[in-house]
């Protein structure tokens, strides 16, 4: 299940400063900041993945970023103006703004792109997984407690 804040778009409709994403077959969505067809700033490792501890903020072509997938636009209720978004992304890329190393839970590609777009680090993917895990844990604890009550 993907975020309702993701909207399918055509490549030609992307604009500078867009928070662009692409759905991967492994069940996650990869995020970056669109600057041009030749420049998307995002977390990536040498193979184009943003799932490894070796991932870092890089600039690649849109084709490399999409890796055969179709672009989707991450829609934010409140976002900075496109120049500010690109400025944040470029500053992190250049190292003039400190940015933590890649971390799946606390500093992934969606945290990066959301920060550039809004000034706040957020990951809907992490939030959804955490909520599902909490629900599963609560259901499991409840089932175990109910089973114990039935045995006594």
**What are the residue boundaries of the structural domains of the chain, listed by start?**
6-122
User: CB atoms < 10 A from the CB of 25, how many?
Assistant: 8
| Start-to-end Cα distance in the chain | 40
| Dihedral of the alpha carbons of 10, 48, 5, 12, in degrees to the nearest 10 | -10
* Residue range 6-122, CATH number: 3.90.1720.10
Q: At what angle do helices 124-151 and 109-118 cross, to 10 degrees?
A: 120
Identify the pLDDT of residue 140.
57
User: CB atoms < 10 A from the CB of 134, how many?
Assistant: 10
Please report, in tens digits, the pLDDT of each residue of the chain (152 residues total). 445 588 899 999 999 999 999 998 877 899 999 999 999 999 887 665 555 667 899 999 999 999 999 999 999 999 999 999 999 999 999 998 888 888 877 889 999 999 999 999 888 765 555 454 545 455 554 555 556 666 66
Predicted TM-score (pTM) of this structure: 0.77
Bridge partners of residue 30, in order along the sequence: 22
């Amino acid at each position: 299940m993907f975020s309702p804040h993701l909207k399918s778009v055509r490549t030609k409709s992307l604009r500078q400063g867009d928070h662009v994403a692409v759905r991967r077959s492994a069940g996650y969505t990869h995020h970056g900041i669109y600057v041009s067809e030749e420049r998307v700033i995002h977390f990536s490792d040498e193979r184009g993945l943003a799932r490894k501890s070796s991932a870092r903020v890089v600039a690649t072509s849109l084709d490399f970023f999409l890796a055969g997938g179709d672009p989707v636009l991450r829609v934010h209720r409140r976002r900075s103006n496109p120049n500010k978004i690109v400025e944040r992304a470029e500053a992190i890329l250049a190292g003039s703004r400190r940015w933590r190393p890649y971390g799946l839970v606390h500093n992934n590609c969606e945290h990066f792109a959301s920060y550039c777009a809004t000034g706040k680090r957020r990951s809907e993917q992490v939030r959804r997984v955490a909520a599902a895990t909490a629900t599963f844990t609560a259901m499991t604890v409840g089932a175990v407690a109910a089973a114990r009550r039935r045995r006594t």
